[in-house]
A and B are shown apart, each in its own frame.
Chain A
Amino acid sequence: MKRQKDLLFVPYILLVVVIVAMFYELSRMIFVSKIELFDLYSPLIFCFLVAFGLLFFLVLSFVGDLKQKQAAAKEEEKEVAVDVEELKRIILYVLGLIIYIMLLPRLHFVAATLIYMAIIVFLLTEATAFTTKLLRAVISSIIFVPVVYYIFYGIFNVVLP
């Protein structure tokens, strides 16, 4: 049986952080910068409405999700679960992507993309033989990167990193 990770609370945590940040910034502007909140000309009124609205609907959504989760728990099934392997793959992919982006200013587009593409194709190819995987990765990278470079830089006039 595949191991699964419940992601249900992740957006709630993110949105709570957003709400806290919004109210913190609002209170800073009200008390430190002395900007009126309930004034017709106040630049904060819309921010306040959005922060309050988000809080209200988030609570509503959270209560609904909790009820649904409890109901699902009784039936011994998880509502919002992601395969742990998939999650690991995504985390590793994001890390690789961040390294690639950080390498871009140092190695420039062609070199950095050649390396990145070769590694990703190698890791994602399902073939079991090491040499097959390596060959496919190297060949696809060597063909793909110059084509992309020519299309974007040569035809589209896009400035590449």
Chain B
Amino acid sequence: MTILTVLYTIIGAGIGLAMGALPGLTVTMTAVLVVSLTYGWPMTDALAFICGAFCGGVTGGAISAIGLNIPGTSAAVATVFDGHPLKNRGEADNALNVALMTSFIGAIIGIIIMLLVGPAIGKFALKFGSQEYFLITLWGLTLVSVLSKGNWVKGICSAFFGLFVGMIGMDPVMGLMRFTFGTRILSGGINFVAAMIGLFGMKEVFNQLSTTASFNITRTVYNLKGLLPKMDLLKKVWRVIPWGGPLGTLIGLLPGTGGDVACIAAYGVAKQVIKKPSRPFGEGAYEGVAAPEVANNAAIGGAMTTMLTLGIPGDSVSAIILGSFYLHGLLPGPTFMMTEKHYFYLIVGYLIIGSIAAYIFGILGSNLILKAINLPKSLLIPFITILCVVGSYALSNNLYDVFIMVIFGIIGYVFEKTGFPIGPIVLAIILGPMIERNLRQALINTGGVFPFVSSLFTRPISLVILILVIASYVLQKRVMKDAN
């Protein structure tokens, strides 16, 4: 770790915080733009920047959730429920104070669990065969599809579309060209980062075009002194920390789920567990702000653990980060803790610095960020567009990728408008080759379809994973239902 990488982490956290706070500019979009723009950088510098942006992005969502009643990111959806009522009571400073403080604590809890659990999972993952990997990757993909907003069948359709996109180009096992339709352009496959910039960046530009008016938030001003850590506020919310952090990390650890699920689940659990909140939930309970913020930030550590030790992204943000690791020649997976152990601890270090920086920037820069939200969309829209164009071009200095980005932007817009979630597309593009490789290897190893299916029940680890799969569906559906 050098001074320069520390500086990149801090800058990344600042940019992530601002982007996370801007409604419509999601953490995923921030991550994908940061990944594309740091593509040409040395690996450690890029990692530092990406980790900082990830931490900042998740924390930033609370700023607009409280000030605007619009979550800056999907991971701050539940922060709105009590954060905005607190603002309406004239306690915006206290609400943001609690959100920033608990975000930081949650992130540190997640990182500590990551440090404790990561090496153990990495060691255990070495025992995994093709069957286990097939099950885990499929688990992640189906979980994200089923838990997507709206109709789960549409989520599965989106996942299948993503699998198709991931199959274009060379077959990962035998090198056969597939779905290129005889064109040279498609023979290298679809650049997944360009597709992601389109799906998350360009799509958002089209969404923002629906209205050119900016957000009217001129009356919201945070008092800097009111955002400094306060013991009396911490005393009010400490009850959610012992379970909120581990719960968020656990949800982050599950393949296919991340901060968005963690925050809703934590809010649901808080409503059940805390019998005497500071105020009724939904009317400005401090615990209602603290629980989702602890959990969504703790999920960062969980998602990074699964991604680094199993090579499986927890959510669309970690899918993009996983893609960036591939671009930089890093191969997360079971052997990562053996061969690239130092990177694991380096990432932990970047996440800690990123969380500290996000906390400090949150205190010092919230008013500036709220002013930035007020920027006219006539400036914001071309700015994001140019970022998307530059980002997709930078991948391989090729205008073809820019056109791919625009096409996926249109697809993302239409899909979202019609209720087809786009998260599963991204996850499927990344996970598709893994699922295919492991399925085909497992089929060859077992010698047929029936031996393969029976091996899923006879192999102890795959049986445990199967039980976990079923348990996760039942539990998550229940928690989400309670939260709703």
Contact = CB atoms under 8 A, between A and B. Distances in A.
B209 interface: yes
A51 B386 CA distance: 35
A18 B158 CA distance: 12
Contacts of A105: 399
Interface residues on B, range: 35 or more
Given A47-B178, A124-B381, A94 B153 contact: no
Interface in B414-456: 414-415, 417-420, 435-436, 439-440, 443-444, 447-448
B209 A43 contact: no
A25 B178 contact: yes
Nearest to A49: B439
Sort chain A's interface into a size bin: 35 or more
Contacts of B156: 53, 57
A120 B443 contact: no
A121 interface: yes
B413 interface: yes
A61 B440 contact: no
Contacts of A104: 389, 399, 402
Contact of A43 (B164, B178, B403, B414): B178
A31 interface: no
Contacts of A100: 389
Contacts of B378: 120-121, 124-126, 136
B167 A50 contact: yes
B364 interface: no
B389 A161 contact: yes
Interface string B195-206: 000000000011
A11 B420 contact: yes
A30 B410 CA distance: 33
A121 B379 contact: yes
Nearest to A83: B210
Interface in A63-105: 64, 80, 82-83, 86, 89-90, 93-94, 97-98, 100-101, 104-105
Interface stretch (B67-75, B169-177, B283-291): B169-177
A45 B179 contact: no
Given A80-B418, A93-B206, A43 B386 contact: no
B117 interface: no
B215 interface: no
B383 A144 contact: yes
A37 interface: no
A59 to B, nearest CB: 10
A41 B444 CA distance: 7
Interface string A18-53: 100110010001000001000011010111001101
A86 B37 CA distance: 30
A40 B157 contact: no
B385 interface: yes
Interface stretch (B22-30, B253-261, B390-398, B460-468): B390-398
A155 B403 CA distance: 26
Decide if the interface of chain A is mainly helix, strand, loop or mixed: helix
B161 A18 contact: yes
Interface string B369-393: 0000000111101110110011001
A14 interface: yes
Contacts of A7: 414, 417-418
Contacts of A121: 378-379, 382
Contact of B386 (A21, A46, A58, A148): A148
Contact of B418 (A11, A101, A160): A11
B399 to A, nearest CB: 6
Contact of A120 (B37, B381, B420, B436): B381
A15 B418 CA distance: 13
B39 to A, nearest CB: 8
Q: Which of B160, B212, B377 has the most CB of A within 10 A?
A: B160
Contacts of B418: 7-8, 10-11, 80
B124 interface: no
A157 interface: yes
Contacts of B402: 101, 104, 161
B171 A18 contact: no
Contacts of A8: 418
B40 interface: yes
A46 B172 CA distance: 11
B387 to A, nearest CB: 8
Contacts of A61: 151, 153-154, 157
A158 interface: yes
A93 B174 CA distance: 42
A25 B164 CA distance: 12
6 contacts: A40-B448, A46-B440, A54-B164, A101-B399, A104-B389, A124-B212
For the complex of A and B, 3 pairs with smallest distance between CB atoms: A124-B378, A54-B160, A46-B436
Given A25-B178, A97-B385, A161-B399, 6 more contacts: A40-B448, A64-B153, A97-B389, A98-B403, A101-B402, A160-B390
Interface of B: 37-38, 40-41, 151, 153-154, 156-157, 160-161, 163-164, 167, 171, 173-174, 176, 178-179, 181, 205-206, 209-210, 212-213, 376-379, 381-383, 385-386, 389-390, 393-394, 397, 399, 402-403, 406, 410-411, 413-415, 417-420, 435-436, 439-440, 443-444, 447-448
Interface of A: 7-8, 10-11, 14-15, 18, 21-22, 25, 29, 35, 40-41, 43, 45-47, 50-51, 53-54, 57-58, 60-61, 64, 80, 82-83, 86, 89-90, 93-94, 97-98, 100-101, 104-105, 109, 113, 116-117, 120-121, 124-126, 136, 140, 144, 148, 152, 156-161
